[in-house]
Amino acid sequence: MKRLFFIFAVLFSSVPVFAQKAIRVKEMGKKADAIIFLPHIGCSSEMWQEIAKNYSKNYTCYLVDLAGFNGQRTIDTLYTENYVNDLRVFIKKEKLKNVILVGQNYGAFVAVKVASDKTLSIKCIIASDFYPKLSMILDPAITSEKLEMIKKSIRQVITQSDEATFMASQKQTAEMMNFTHREDVNRFVQWQQKSDRKTLAETLCDQFSGDLLLELKENKIRMLVFTTWYFAKKYKNIPISEAQKKLNEMYGETPNVVHVVTDQAKDFIANDQPQWFIGEMDKFLKQPIVGK
């Protein structure tokens, strides 16, 4: 019985193993290949806990917390760049091979940037609610001038709002866009409340400035992208059968990207539909890698 308890504790508990100025990493499980889980803006790595618990039986899972999010100590500048650099240092220091990068929205944005380092052994990327060029969601033909105006507005709204206004907006976002379950909404709001406002603003601005389409086109790493069709179906009455066409338009010529779509979850798909998410991820990971 004691031995079983020990095995369970090793498999399903996370232990801090690495800390740089921009990231803090906790380990779950102890197997040959690694999965690195990256959170969305202002979120804790706890958002991936259920998915990581499942995969820790067969992988070493690393849950990453980013500086400035959910009470983590802050850094002053070059937010995304520092996250990416510290993750690369971690992968090299630990001599990780066949790494699977998993990210939610901004976390996936960071993952693609990490994977652009060809000296790393990255097996594939799993992305949820990911946009290779976030600005195109607002305006496919957005100008640099308009983008700068949007970023200025983001900085003002996030950093200058009083506490009550900020928290009300975060709760509204979580309820409308992010989750279907009340406990997830409450947890998200708590994470945002404990996050550094400047970090929230600057990471979102980094993401709006980013354009990863060329990297995805040139990158030979396989990528699975989870997308929700919940809002298109509910508010625009667009059937899920139209999803692939729209995604092809958004992603362009990116032959290594595979899309899976649900209309039953909001943006945080792994939290709303964990078993479906795991099932699709399993199918993708079992597919043979061309050229291997």
Residue 261 lies in a domain: yes
| Residue range 136-167, pLDDT digits in tens | 888 888 999 999 999 999 999 999 999 999 99
Which pLDDT score, from 0 to 100, does residue 49 have?
Answer: 97
Q: Which residues are CB-neighbours of 99 under 8 A, at least 6 positions away?
A: 33, 34, 35, 36, 91, 120, 121, 122, 123
CB contact at 8 A, 270 and 51: yes
Which residue intervals of 13-162 are DSSP H helices?
49-55, 79-93, 106-115, 135-138, 144-160
Residue 143 lies in a domain: no
Asked if the model's pLDDT at residue 12 lies above 70, the reply is: no
| Residue range 226-258, pLDDT digits in tens | 999 999 999 999 999 999 999 999 998 898 999
Helix, coil or strand: residue 60: strand
Q: What is the pTM of this model?
A: 0.92
How many domains does the chain divide into?
1
CB contact at 8 A, 35 and 64: no
Residue 246 lies in a domain: yes
Q: Which residues are CB-neighbours of 97 under 8 A, at least 6 positions away?
A: 33, 34, 121
Residue 222 lies in a domain: yes
Residue 95 lies in a domain: yes
Residue 4: pLDDT band with limits 50, 70, 90: very low
Residue 153 lies in a domain: no
The CA distance from 110 to 65, in Å, is 12
Residue 233's CATH number: 3.40.50.1820
Counting residues of the chain whose pLDDT is more than 90, the rounded percentage is 83
Residue 292 burial (10 A CB sphere; 0-12, 13-18, 19+): exposed
| Residue range 268-287, pLDDT digits in tens | 999 999 999 999 999 999 98
Give me the domain span that covers residue 103: 2-134+212-286
Residue 185: pLDDT band with limits 50, 70, 90: very high
Residue 126 lies in a domain: yes
Residue 146 lies in a domain: no
